[in-house]
Structure 1
């Protein structure tokens, strides 16, 4: 099965919730919608699933126009970030509910429910009710109900957002294996770039109701088309600043300059915007060739696994992200190290002009 959106849009009153969007989604791998809250991910899912009708464009399933077709006739499944289970039914009955609605023979229902329960490690809980389950077990139940239906498309709208860290990591790792080989179109919405990279497949970057780029996940991470795409695919957000190329060096005002490498060395002299991800600005000197940056620390965010520091540079605030616990003093200058080979350079129209030698 293929799912295709052709210039699909949604206007509510004077507000555009989704600008004309075209996407062709294939079965067999994850199709990820990546963007911040309000980017249009849930709107696109509701339109593709038939929960809302677009104000413009068409939706095709295997070449057939289903734009006005109800969700029930489309044979789709939808899993939200909230645990949508029937509280008065057992886990078995919750998983079986779409099969009963579809009038699947009773003799077949038991086998299909048990198979889905085994996949999601729910067999010991089949006779419990949702209120007797942990959050992770409730979300597994919702996923099992989606799997057992053997839908043509499964829409997962930030399904792990409300789980604790350990359960998120566990299910994130298992999902590709659980949903593989089903010939189903899988659409997965997330606001976390790291989650998109872990799931792989293809990613559609969304920003303010617009699709900014679509392609293989790793490819668009390393080669964002423009400033908008680069902004979406970085958490914390990518650092940007206006720079000027003169000869073989880039100049960030009078505060900083560095040599350019790779394709960037061949750019014409002139004005550009540099972009660099926070994890390529380190408070410790990295093994790759780097340049020192000295800036006043404004905010710090420390956890057991990483340290984030916001610091002033050339009338801007940049962010450094590094592993482990680093020592910063708010209000005091600190030396950071930027790796120029990880820089992206964008032209005045916002399009990617060149990047350093290393993958971004």
Structure 2
């Protein structure tokens, strides 16, 4: 972590969640979480009900798991109060002390640490404030700040005191698009040389891809996969991982293997590998891979009715109704005008289609790699 010239403890920190489970009101919120998180930034991505906040609270010591251990630097901290841990937590909400100035908000955790002298505190507050772009706001109170400035203050307070574990629970979720983009870039630079474990949770797959850090995909309280986020995006091992990392949402269409081809809604394309005839599959298609009015050789042709065109200025999201009341969304560049109710044809190159086993959701083939159905 940023240490302001004060070296304390090991520079390389490890956080281990060993078989962590949490059950509340008869429901399982975390199910046998097993993670070893190294020094530096790790991103946790998943939908709203994935269990991200619960995982963060367990890692912080705010919630004791029903089973499993939380180990930091080889020391079992399960059940140890958060006050006795070297941890800082940044919440989604802008949590600052309303009666204190920005300066005093940032200084507050340092004043609780007897190792910091007055001059150390002043230097550290100004250093972190400069880093977060709020050096000119130190005399203001939170009510006088914008939402982005309040969140920068909250993050600066968490960064002020060196800790082994820094937890950020969707810290940019309540900010507008421009502020999110700016602060995300600042945080990526800031955490590049972090000393300590930085765990950052988000529901936005684009945020995880932007950070380009080791990533844990969480869903329904379980670790669905972990590893390099770019590799997971290109070769999602399961349908659940592909869906989590797709924004706009992944298009899903049913298919069946017959005589070496995959049939889908009255059209077909060659099966990527030899697969058993009659095997049911699910086709995953990212919206930006759908084209209208143009196609390459062998493209999947999907006759459709135009239902809605959402124009954002830089892009057009075209909602289509296919055969069998199936829906498809195309992400088209720029402003394009369409008339609802008109007929059109959507095209998808077979190389851009993910093929998943319908029963288990396992990946069978991608545009760049193939997996043996019987492997």
Query: Retained in 1: the 8 A contact 2:267–2:300?
Result: no
Distance 1:286 1:31 in 2: 40
Find the residue that maps to 1:265 and give its secondary structure: coil
* Cα distance change on mapping 1:286 and 1:306 into 2, 3 Å: farther
**Does 1:303 find its partner at 2:315?**
no
Of the candidates 325, 344, 351, which is equivalent to residue 354 of structure 2?
A: 344
**Does 1:293 find its partner at 2:302?**
yes
Q: How does 1:1-360 map to 2 (within 5 A)?
A: 1-28=13-40, 30-103=41-114, 104-253=116-265, 255-260=266-271, 264-269=272-277, 270-283=279-292, 285=294, 290-315=299-324, 316-347=326-357, 348-357=359-368
Distance 1:244 1:287 in 2: 23
Provide, for residues 130-168 of structure 1, a one-character-per-residue CA deviation record: whole Å limited to 9, x for no partner. 122221111111111111111111111111111111111
The range that moved more, 238-247 or 114-123, is 238-247
Distance 1:61 1:45 in 2: 14
Find the residue that maps to 1:337 and give its secondary structure: strand
* Cα distance change on mapping 1:42 and 1:26 into 2, 3 Å: same
Distance 2:214 2:310 in 1: 31
What is the Cα-based RMSD across aligned positions, in Å? 1.9
Deviation at 1:189, TM superposition (A): 1.0
* Cα distance change on mapping 1:236 and 1:247 into 2, 3 Å: same
The range that moved more, 18-27 or 243-252, is 243-252
Distance 2:349 2:161 in 1: 49
Provide, for residues 95-141 of structure 1, a one-character-per-residue CA deviation record: whole Å limited to 9, x for no partner. 00000112322121011111111111221111111122221111111
The range that moved more, 183-192 or 265-274, is 265-274
Distance 1:256 1:206 in 2: 35
Runs of 4+ deviating beyond 6 Å: 286-289
Alignment: residue pair count: 354
Find the residue that maps to 1:177 and give its secondary structure: helix
Deviation at 1:283, TM superposition (A): 2.7
Provide, for residues 181-208 of structure 1, a one-character-per-residue CA deviation record: whole Å limited to 9, x for no partner. 2312111111111111001111111222
Provide, for residues 259-316 of structure 1, a one-character-per-residue CA deviation record: whole Å limited to 9, x for no partner. 34xxx23444433221111111123536797433221123433211222122222322
Query: Retained in 2: the 8 A contact 1:328–1:334?
Result: no
Query: Retained in 1: the 8 A contact 2:235–2:369?
Result: no
Deviation at 1:354, TM superposition (A): 1.6
Deviation at 1:88, TM superposition (A): 0.9
5+ long unaligned stretches in structure 1: none
Tell me the TM-score normalised to structure 2 length: 0.89
Find the residue that maps to 2:151 and give its secondary structure: helix
Distance 1:187 1:128 in 2: 29
Find the residue that maps to 1:53 and give its secondary structure: coil
Provide, for residues 219-244 of structure 1, a one-character-per-residue CA deviation record: whole Å limited to 9, x for no partner. 11112111111111111221122212
Tell me the TM-score normalised to structure 1 length: 0.93
